[in-house]
């Protein structure tokens, strides 16, 4: 067996494999702890790994007792000594604080997010802060870039999490799994410059602008006269153009797009698109310029999302938005239209898949005309029936976004290991569904979900397999996680403790379920 101090002389950052795993166990055992063996990494004169005792995790830094490198002093933690095969070691045991996460990202850059351009990507939101290892396992070997720090301001508010906490949880999970291939981060559904500031401070690399408050959904139903009046009243100064120039730009004849897609815009089509999306395009430009100014020389990426609007984005409307963004100087890496059919939360696509395919192919034609950029699929959880077509038609230029499905799979694990707790959560969800569904696109009928007292322990898992049960539990996540009595959480702490005590069960479920999402988009190695 090699001397443990030889490890500290390694020029390899990652020390995966049987030898590395054995070394990680020896170091951790010397300190009376259990190692996450995949995490072992070398640094000049020492090594680092993640360890645990019970459900509590710590960062362990180790070096020869007689030669402690200065970088170990950058981390805060208690110092102890231990011996491995009579080799005395200096060990610093560090809590997983924000300050130590910042130092981790600096010392081991693979634990910090970066930009990936148009590479095929999957965003995997983590509403509980403990799902990253399972997410990493789901993408390993697929060539799909994982966006592991992904959370919207709305989700942060409903789970009482902070942007820096979202980032830290992803970094620690990446470190735990020894994932050195890189990951992205998505500050999702940002509506204000204050939102941008919050996420810049946390170190996010992609910023998804949600201009839905500036979309005029009435454009699809307005009478022609009213629509014309709205067009004339647009803020042309903010749009940096005029009505005459816009008509000249868009009404000069047939528009030919890649893939033999032809658009025949009429004045009525243009007026409708402009009324619906002009203010949203201008707001996106404002957000982009602010972001570019605040980021300075730091690299960043932008996505523009109009998925949370009342009506689908037509091919010409997508063309209009992309052309307006380009005219206004916006640089973007992905764009999320509102697709045809229903992208309800937590369940498969509802609609005619063939109609979706035809429409999606036209959206891709617009993307190729102004890009390439990625077509972003929001509310992408569990849309298994449309993944193959999306992957094929976009030729990998896709950013799939999921979030709620990882929370639902956490509840699946709870149903298996803590059925009494699951029943309490289910009963609570029944009480809060009507109010919580207001801001979500869902159609669940709670009457079709078994009452907690009517399902046996071996039947609880199946509630997560039906559309009604999934949506009932999906949209109530905020109420469940924030419920308090006399200042104490009703469910949150017990739910997290159960999952942390059975983390491998959670990781296994996530790997399988998210793996089904990612498989159609996997890249050939």
Kindly give, in sequence order, each residue whose CB lies less than 8 Å from that of residue 488, ignoring residues fewer than 6 positions away: none
DSSP 335: E
Q: Which residues is 489 bridged to in the sheet? A: 484
Strands (E) in 361-514, as ranges, are: 374-377, 398-402, 484-485, 488-489
Residues annotated as part of the active site? 188, 303
What are the CB-based long-range contacts (under 8 Å, 24+) for 199-203? 199/163, 200/291, 200/294, 200/295, 201/163, 201/164, 202/162, 202/163, 202/164, 202/166, 202/167, 203/105, 203/112, 203/113, 203/164, 203/167
Check the CA dihedral 440-445-447-448 and report its sign. negative
CA-to-CA distance for 210 and 375, rounded, in angstroms?
15
Reduce the DSSP state of residue 52 to 3 states and report it: strand
Cα–Cα distance between 285 and 304 in angstroms, integer? 10
How many angstroms separate the CA atoms of 62 and 41, rounded?
A: 11
* First vs last C-alpha separation in the chain: 35
- How many CB atoms lie under 10 A from the CB of residue 42? 19
Backbone φ and ψ of 268, nearest 5°: -65, -40
Cα(464)–Cα(473) distance, rounded to whole angstroms?
A: 8
SS3 content of the chain, % helix, strand, coil (to 5): 50, 20, 30
Contact 390, 354 (CB under 8 A): no
Q: C-alpha angle 188/189/193, rounded to 5°?
A: 100
Cα(398)–Cα(136) distance, integer angstroms: 18
**Half-sphere exposure of 320 toward its Cβ, with a 13 Å CA cutoff?**
28
Give the pairing type, strands 374-377 and 334-336: parallel
Mention every residue, 6+ apart, whose C-beta is less than 8 A from residue 60.
Answer: 27, 28, 31, 33, 35, 48, 49, 50, 51, 91, 92, 93, 94
User: How many residues can be counted in the chain?
Assistant: 525
Paired residues of 64 in beta bridges? 89
């Amino acid at each position: 067996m090699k001397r443990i101090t030889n490890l500290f002389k390694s020029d390899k950052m990652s020390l995966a494999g049987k030898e590395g795993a054995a070394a990680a166990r020896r170091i951790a055992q010397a300190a009376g702890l259990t190692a996450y063996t995949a995490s072992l990494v070398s640094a000049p004169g020492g090594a680092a790994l993640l360890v645990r005792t019970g459900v509590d995790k710590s960062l362990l830094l180790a070096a020869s007792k007689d030669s402690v490198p200065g970088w170990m002093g950058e981390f805060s933690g208690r110092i102890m000594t231990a011996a491995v095969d009579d080799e005395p070691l200096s060990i610093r045991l560090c809590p997983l604080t924000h300050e130590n996460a910042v130092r981790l990202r600096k010392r081991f850059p693979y634990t910090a997010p970066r930009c990936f351009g148009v590479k095929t990507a999957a965003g995997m939101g983590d509403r509980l802060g403990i799902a990253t290892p399972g997410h990493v396992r789901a993408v390993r070997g697929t060539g799909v870039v994982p966006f592991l720090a992904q959370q919207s301001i709305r989700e942060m508010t409903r789970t009482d999490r902070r942007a820096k906490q979202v980032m830290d949880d992803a970094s620690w999970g990446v470190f735990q799994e020894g994932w050195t291939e890189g990951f992205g981060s998505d500050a999702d559904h940002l509506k204000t410059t204050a939102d941008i500031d919050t996420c810049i401070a946390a170190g996010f690399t992609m910023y998804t602008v949600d201009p839905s408050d500036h979309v005029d959904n009435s454009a699809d139903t307005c009478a022609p006269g009213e629509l014309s009046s709205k067009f004339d009243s647009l803020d042309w100064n903010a749009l940096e153009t005029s009505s005459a120039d816009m008509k000249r730009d868009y009404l000069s004849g047939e528009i030919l797009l890649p893939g033999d897609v032809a658009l025949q815009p009429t004045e009525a089509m243009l007026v409708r698109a402009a009324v619906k999306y002009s203010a949203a395009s201008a707001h996106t430009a404002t957000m982009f310029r602010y972001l570019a100014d605040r980021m300075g020389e730091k690299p960043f990426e932008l996505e523009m999302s109009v998925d949370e609007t009342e009506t689908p984005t037509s091919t010409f409307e997508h063309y209009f938005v992309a052309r307006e963004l380009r005219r206004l100087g916006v640089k973007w890496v992905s764009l999320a239209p509102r697709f045809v059919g229903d992208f309800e939360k937590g369940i498969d696509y509802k609609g005619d898949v063939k109609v979706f395919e035809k429409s999606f192919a036209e959206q891709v034609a617009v993307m190729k005309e102004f890009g390439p950029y990625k077509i972003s699929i929001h509310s992408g959880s569990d849309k298994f029936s449309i993944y193959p077509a999306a992957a094929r038609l976009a030729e990998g230029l896709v950013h799939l976004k999921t979030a709620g499905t990882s929370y639902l799979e956490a509840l699946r694990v709870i149903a298996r290991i803590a059925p009494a707790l699951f029943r309490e959560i289910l009963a609570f969800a029944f009480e809060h569904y009507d109010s919580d569904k207001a801001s979500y696109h869902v159609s669940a009928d709670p009457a079709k979900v078994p009452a907690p007292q009517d399902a046996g322990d071996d039947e609880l898992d199946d509630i997560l397999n039906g559309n009604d049960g999934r949506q009932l539990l999906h949209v109530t996540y905020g109420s469940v996680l924030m419920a308090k009595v006399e200042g104490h959480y009703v469910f949150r702490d017990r739910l997290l403790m159960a999952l942390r005590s059975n983390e491998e069960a959670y990781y296994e479920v996530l790997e399988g379920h998210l793996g089904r999402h990612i498989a159609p988009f996997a890249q050939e190695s």
